[in-house]
Structure 1
Amino acid sequence: MEIAVRYSTHVRPISYLKANAAEVLLDLAETREPLVITQNGEAKAVLQDVATFEQAQETLALLKLLALGAQDIEAGRTRPARAVVERLRSKVSDR
């Protein structure tokens, strides 16, 4: 798994995107590497395939849950696992 992506090797001007949109989309799906689009020499957008985008969103959601959990721990909003399991068992047995 490659962690650091060198975006400098995946930079194209907007005119390239306009002229080669279908090829760019195929390349994005095949390589799953983002493409930086420039306008007037300045980076303006990053394109990526949908699967990679969805994976990134899932990863961000998990990281957010971890951060919220860490905040709960720091604030003392925790319960012992045994107490939680007992509570769940009593709810199930009440049905």
Structure 2
Amino acid sequence: MTLPSDIKPVSYLKANAAEILRDLAEQRRPLVITQNGEARAVMQDVASYEETQETLALLKLLALGNREIEQGREKPVSDVVARLKAKRVPD
């Protein structure tokens, strides 16, 4: 993050909303919005937001998997494959 160009006051956001939205989409870098000199919000383009959400979802799945392993709830792959084959609907 380039601090001087990626941090703007809320007054700049109000005056340049269309330009900011265009820049967010083109540059795909987050923008920190300040109010009274303090960071208050972070804006980002929709594609970057969606990628972040997908990444978080995968990390949550990994964490859940690790927790199940720690609790001894893992199953051999052969058991899982057999269970999936049993549920398969014939062609």
Q: Same fold (TM over 0.5)?
A: yes
**Of 52-61 and 81-90, the range deviating more from structure 2:** 81-90
Q: Compute the RMSD of aligned alpha carbons.
A: 1.7
Q: 1:82 aligns with which of 69, 78, 81?
A: 78
TM-score, L = length of structure 1: 0.87
SS class of match (2:41)? strand
Q: 1:46 aligns with which of 42, 47, 51?
A: 42
Aligned length: 90
1:8 paired to 2:3: yes
Which runs of 4 or more aligned residues in structure 1 lie more than 6 Å from their structure 2 counterparts after TM superposition? Answer: none
Structure 1 unmatched runs, 5+ = 1-5
Rounded to whole Å, the distance in 2 between the matches of 1:94 and 1:75 is 35
Q: 1:32 aligns with which of 19, 28, 31?
A: 28
**Of 7-16 and 34-43, the range deviating more from structure 2:** 7-16
TM-score, L = length of structure 2: 0.91
Rounded to whole Å, the distance in 1 between the matches of 2:50 and 2:62 is 19
Structure 2 unmatched runs, 5+ = none
Instruction: State whether residues 12 and 35 of structure 1, in contact with CA within 8 Å, keep that contact through their aligned partners in structure 2.
Output: yes
Percent identical pairs in the alignment equals 62
